[in-house]
Amino acid sequence: MAQGANRTAAQVVGVVALAAAVTAFLAVAAVRHGFFDLKVYYGALTWWVHDGGEIYDYLKPNTQYGFTYPPFAALVMLPMAYLPWSAAIVVSVLASVVTTTVLIWWLVDPIARRAGWTRWFALAVALCLAAAFEPMRETVNFGQVNTLLLFLVAVDLLRLLPAGNRWAGVGIGLATAIKLTPGIFIVYLLVTGRWRAALTASGTAAGVSLLAGALFPDASREFWTEALWNTGRVGELAFVSNQSLRGVVARLDPQHPSTLLWLLLVLGTLALWAWRSRAAVAAGDEATGLALTGAVMCLVSPVTWVHHLVWLLPALILLVDNAMAAPAGRRRRVLLAAVTIGYVLLISRTVWVWEKDFTGVDGFLGSNAYVWISLALLAFLPIRRWLTPGGSPVETSGVPQLDQPDRPAPAGERHLVGRPLTVR
C-alpha cells in the first residue's frame, strides 16, 4: 500500500513538473496568433447572418483571408454568429482540448496497459507533450478545426470500422464536407477494399453538402463555382509554413514553380501510400492506416500549413507504441531515437529560421524539415503484424514489420486500434 502511494505521489509530482516545464516552454516558444483564423470564421459568419452580406465575399479587414470552407462548414459553425467573441474562443479551445484528449486516450491507453504504466499518468504525460507540439499549439492559437476533423476520422477508423459497425464512414464523410482534404480517407477506404464504409462516407459527404446547398443556395453556388478555385484566398504557396510537396517545389522557384514536378512527386507519394496502406489493412493494423493517410494528406495537399500537421500526431504515438512493443535492444533504441528527433523538430519552429531566405542547400533542407518528417513517417512507420491463433504472423509483402511476442495477445489486451490481435 505504501509503495503504491509513493508511486502515485511521485507520478503526481512528475506530471506537475512536466506541466510547469511545458508552460514555461510555451511562454517562450509559442507564437501568439490571437485566434486569427477564428476571427475570420467569426467575422464571415457575422457578416453573413447579421449584416446581410455573402459569406464568401467577406475578407478579414486589411488581409486577403476569407472563409474558404464548404457551405456545410458554415452550417456547422453557424451558432458561432450568435455567441459573444469571448464565448467563441472558449468553445474553440474546449473543442480542441476535448477531441485531442479522447484521441490520445485511444492511442496511448493500450500502450500503457501493455507496458504496465499507470494509465492516467501515461495520458497526462502525453497531453503535456502534445501541448508543446507546434502543430497543436498553432491549431489552438489560430482557432483552427484540425483536431475536430482528426477526431471524426479516428472515430471511424479506430472504433467503428474495426468493430464492423454499419455507421463506419459517417465521420469521414462529415469531415470531408467540413473541409475537403479529409476526402483522401474515402480514397483510403476504396484503396483498401472497404466498399461499404467508402459508400457510407461518400453518401454522408454528398448528403450533408446537398442539405447545405438547399439551405444556402447562393452561398453554395458561389463556393463551388468561384471561391473553391480562388487559390489567392489561402496564402502564398512558397511561404515557409506550407509544409507540403507543393511548398517544397514552390520554394525551389517561387516565381515559376513547376507544376509537372509537383504532380510527379504527388504520384510517387500516392503510390507508396497505397502500397503501405494496403499492407497495413492486410495486417489488421487500422491505426497505422490512419497515420499513413494523415501523413500523405499533408504531403499531397497543395497547402499544408504547420498547424495542419496535427495529422502527424497518431504516427508519432504509434512510433512510441512500436518501440515499447519491440524487444529491448537496438530496434527499440532506433525507434525511440526516431520519435524523439521527430518530436523535438516538431516543437522547435525549426523551419521558421528560413522564413525570409530559403535558398541554398541549407535552405532546401531546413525550410522543408517537416516535409522530410512526413515522408519518413510515410515510408518507415512500422506496420504491426496480426497474429493467428497459433502465433504465426500474417505475411505483408516485405513491408517493414515490428516483431511481436511469440504468443497471441490475451483477449483482455485486444482493442480496436490495430494492436496485436488474434483471429477468432
Rounded Cα distance between 394 and 55, Å, is 52
Q: What is the pLDDT of residues 110-134, one digit of tens each?
A: 989 988 899 999 999 999 999 999 9
Low-confidence ranges of the chain (pLDDT < 70): 1, 231-235, 386-424
The owner of cell 518528417 is: 373
The answer to whether 145 and 158 have CB atoms below 8 angstroms apart is no
pTM: 0.90
Burial of 322-340, coded b for 16+ CB within 10 Å and e otherwise, reads bbebbeeeebeeebbebbe
Nearest to 56 by CA among 77, 64, 48, 209: 48
Cα separation, 287 vs 289, in Å, equals: 5
- Report pLDDT for 241: 96
Q: Strand 401-402 relative to strand 383-384: parallel, antiparallel, unpaired? A: parallel
Sequence-ordered list of residues with C-beta below 8 angstroms from that of 347, at least 6 positions apart, any chain: 25, 29, 132, 133, 134
pLDDT at 397: 33
- 255's grid cell: 516565381
| 416's grid cell | 480496436
Q: For 166-224, give the DSSP string.
A: TTTTHHHHHHHHHSSGGGHHHHHHHHTT-HHHHHHHHHHHHHHHHHHHHH-HHHHHHHH
**pLDDT of the residue at 232:** 61
H-helix segments, 58-194: 71-77, 85-115, 119-132, 134-142, 146-154, 170-178, 184-191
161 near 194, Cβ under 8 Å? yes
**Residue in this structure with the C-alpha cell 494523415, named with its chain if needed:** 294
**What's the Rg (C-alpha) of the chain?**
22
**Helix, coil or strand: residue 384:** strand
Q: What gap in Å lies between CA 166 and CA 157, rounded to an integer?
A: 12
Tell me how many degrees the CA angle 377-382-385 measures, rounded to the nearest 5: 150
What pLDDT, in 10s, does the model give residues 137-191?
999 999 999 999 999 999 999 999 999 999 999 999 999 999 999 999 999 999 9
Instruction: Check if the beta carbon of residue 67 is closer than 8 Å to that of residue 74.
Output: yes
Closest listed residue to residue 227, CA positions, set 38, 48, 46, 69: 69
